[in-house]
Amino acid sequence: MSIQIRIDDAELQRVQQRLGELQHKAPNAIASALNRSISNIKANVPKEVRKNYHVKTADIKETLKIFKASASKLQAKVTSSGRTLGLNKFKVSPMTVNPKRKSQLKIAVEKTGTKQILGAFVLNLNGAKVFTRSGEKHSPTKGSYAGKGVLREKINRKFGPSVPQMIGNETTVNKINQDAYTTYETRINHEINRLLSRLGAN
């Protein structure tokens, strides 16, 4: 998933015209505005994603990488890459190991409500995770039952969406893009005014 801000020739010419005799400074001013905007996007992504999903800020941030603009390359972007997250990364109630529990787990990935996954249970395998039984049998290769002809039921770990998928939610990506445009406009005006004020002071 990538959120990108790219400047076309029309925008470059617009900034050059506003700068007048300082038009040669336009690429630097634009690059500075883009980089401030893309930094704000990186900060806003977790906030916007968490409006719709029960996911921790840290789990979102660790998937993000920023690529800054330069005077010779007037584009900047934030990328998100990562695999699907286990359901334990979302809202699971109760998130405790209890083999005798008869009630279904309540699981909420999105903030639109909770769902139940038939037969889901919590097991501590390098931390508490959510599983279901597959109904298939297999012979253990590890542990006290290995090689003894004992059949155990297979279990499958349950997953939700990945962070890139959550960012790609239409509502989320539209809001992020809107904020990016607003930030860019604010920052390019600031850069232009700063350069022109220096010219006037000379």
Structure tokens at 57: 């800020």
Output Rg (C-alpha) for the chain, integer angstroms: 25
> Domain segments of the chain: what residues?
2-84+164-201, 86-160
Q: What is the pLDDT of residue 15?
A: 96
69 contact partners, CB below 8 Å, separation of at least 6: 5, 30, 31, 34, 35, 38, 75, 76
Q: What is the pLDDT of residue 21?
A: 92
106 contact partners, CB below 8 Å, separation of at least 6: 92, 93, 114, 115, 116
For residue 31, count other CB atoms closer than 10 A to its CB: 21
Among residues 52, 73, 68, which one has the least CA distance to residue 173? 52
Q: What is the pLDDT of residue 190?
A: 95
Residue 189 burial by Cβ neighbours in a 10 Å radius (0-12, 13-18, 19+):
middle
Q: Tokens 């906030």 — which residue? A: 47
Q: What are the tens digits of pLDDT across the range 164-181?
A: 999 988 888 889 989 989
pLDDT tens over the chain, length 202 residues: 888 888 999 999 999 999 999 999 999 999 999 999 999 999 999 999 999 999 999 999 999 999 999 999 999 999 999 999 999 999 999 888 887 777 888 999 999 888 888 889 999 988 899 999 876 665 555 555 454 544 467 889 999 999 999 998 888 888 998 998 999 999 999 999 999 988 765 5
What is the residue type of 95? M
Q: What is the pLDDT of residue 16?
A: 96
